A and B are shown apart, each in its own frame.
Chain A
Amino acid sequence: MDRLMVVWNAFPALLGGLAITVELALAFLGLGLALGILLALSRIYGNRFLASIASAFEQVFRGIPAIVFLFLFYFGSAQIGLNLSAFSAAILAMGLRSSAYQSQIFRGAIQSISSGQMMAARALGMNLYKAARHIILPQALRFSIAPWTNEYAGVLKDTSLCYAIGVTEIMRQGRYIVARTFGNSLLIYILIAIIYFILVYAGNRFFSFLEARLRIPGFETKGERTERI
């Protein structure tokens, strides 16, 4: 009964933490999405300068642990006079990091679209921007949904790392409750584990639904074309 009361009393604080966790995840994914698409387009269609900048950016942000970036953007930036809040530092560090991973997803998807699509668009007189926006991206983004679900799950779970720079997301709230109630680690962390799991699971279900919803006849018949060769 006692334990049940602990859970009951912990709930408001955990929900507050959950809200921060969801905000972080949305911000990371949103920044990662916008920048990731730009990076992918730069790699594929940009001039040599733009492409190499994008490539270097991706290498750096995929080559260094997330926690190191969090510390650099929070503690490191303070030392040069940038007073970023823990929340903003987290968004920058993790959002940029996600953009590097997401750009790989979009790059693969864009490159999987037959070159004839771009050729037909350019032959109509579309400039590169219009061809990318109206012809290439609508197809590439559909292909990206499945791999993007992985990124969603990864980023959502990695929000817990923001604990380390003091963001009061759900893990930190959990820590506080455990400290306040003298123990109950097992109970609280199981509760948090269940919440993460539900978020990831619900997201996966949502993206499967979205993929089915946006499916277009023909995208699955690519196999048929290869058989003809």
Chain B
Amino acid sequence: MANNVTLRIEDLHKSYGALEVLKGVSVDINKGESKVIIGPSGTGKSTLLRCINRLTQPDSGRVWLDGVEVTDRKVDINRVRATIGMVFQDFNLFSHLRILGNVRIGPMEVKGMEKKEATELAMEELRRVGLADKADAYPAELSGGQQQRASIARALAMDPKLILFDEPTSALDPELIGEVLEVMINLAREGMTMLVVSHEMGFARSVADEIIFLENGVILEAGPPDQLFVHPKHKRTAEFLNKITELYGETSK
């Protein structure tokens, strides 16, 4: 495998009962690349992300992260997960911890870092997302946009090789989406490897290396944003892109 491939997903299948959600999905992401997955709801976008860190167990197919097979039954999955950041639609910040506590608990409890060191690291990540002044607040005291930025800081504090974003702006009020997208765009520009499920074309058009159109459990089409927008191979891709740009706008940074 080429050295610069961070994530390789090969022929992933997943069914829930009789419903086959993923019907053989393969994706490669090189180090420093950002890819965006779009597609109608219920087509397995979130399932695909969760199969990568095995929060959902795929039925078949393989996933490698930096040459380590994640889907190998014998792999220490907690060690793998510690190197994959995950950002959720509903933020899922730990409600009983202050923002600082949320960001440093991973390094402390998973990596065994000393509290002092973890605190410094956490403060640095909070500055990175513009939330250093909210370190002592509880999650519920923040706006949705701030909570999502905090959850990005929580992922960053683990120094991940890859960050998975599961519809990071879908739960946000429209005026709060921009601040989260800005953080994500900066991350992508700094060279973070990212796989993003989102219909925010602002992010896709400004920094994504590829847009992957997933429908009914298969990748219908994938390509650089400009190609997909200007010369989509499938009529269905064009239709879908038109629909989401209509809905979400196309403001790029």
Contact for A117 among B86, B92, B138, CB less than 8 A: B92
Of the residues B92, B106, B109, B158, contact of A119 by C-beta under 8 Å: B92
A216 within 8 A of B: yes
Are the CB atoms of A135 and B86 closer together than 8 Å? no
The answer, yes or no, to whether B64 is at the interface (CB within 8 Å) is: no
Contact assessment for B95 and A125 in the assembled complex, using a CB-CB cutoff below 8 Å: no
- Inter-chain CA distance A114–B53, complex, in Å, is 20
* Interface residue total, chain B, C-beta cutoff 8 A: 28
> How many angstroms from the CA of A46 to the CA of B206 in the assembled complex?
46
A217-B141, A218-B138, A218-B140 known; A122 and B110 CB under 8 Å? no
| Contact residues, B62-120 vs A (CB, 8 A) | 78-84, 86, 88, 90, 92-96, 105-106, 109-110
**Complex alpha-carbon distance, A127 and B151, angstroms:** 19
Q: How far is the CB of A191 from chain B (nearest CB, A)?
A: 43
Contacts A130-B109, A216-B138 given: A122-B96 contact, CB under 8 Å? no
A residues less than 8 Å from B80 (CB atoms): 125
- B84, B88, B94, most chain A CB atoms within 10 A: B94
Is B139 interfacial (CB-CB < 8 Å)? yes
Pick the residue among A117, A127, A138, A216 that contacts B78 (CB under 8 A): A127
Complex Cα–Cα for A124 and B99 (A): 16
Count, chain A residues at interface, CB 8 A:
23
Contacts of A123 in B (CB 8 A): 53, 55, 81, 84, 86
Taking CB atoms, residues of chain B closer than 8 Å to A217 are: 138, 140-141
Closest CB of chain A to B127's CB: distance in Å? 21
Asked if A120 CB lies within 8 Å of chain B CBs, one says: yes
- A139 contacts B by Cβ under 8 Å: yes
Set of chain A residues within 8 Å of B93, measured between Cβ atoms = 120
Further contacts, 17 of them, CB under 8 A, given A119-B92, A135-B96: A116-B88, A120-B93, A122-B55, A122-B81, A123-B53, A123-B84, A124-B105, A125-B82, A126-B109, A126-B110, A127-B78, A139-B94, A139-B95, A142-B96, A216-B95, A217-B138, A217-B140
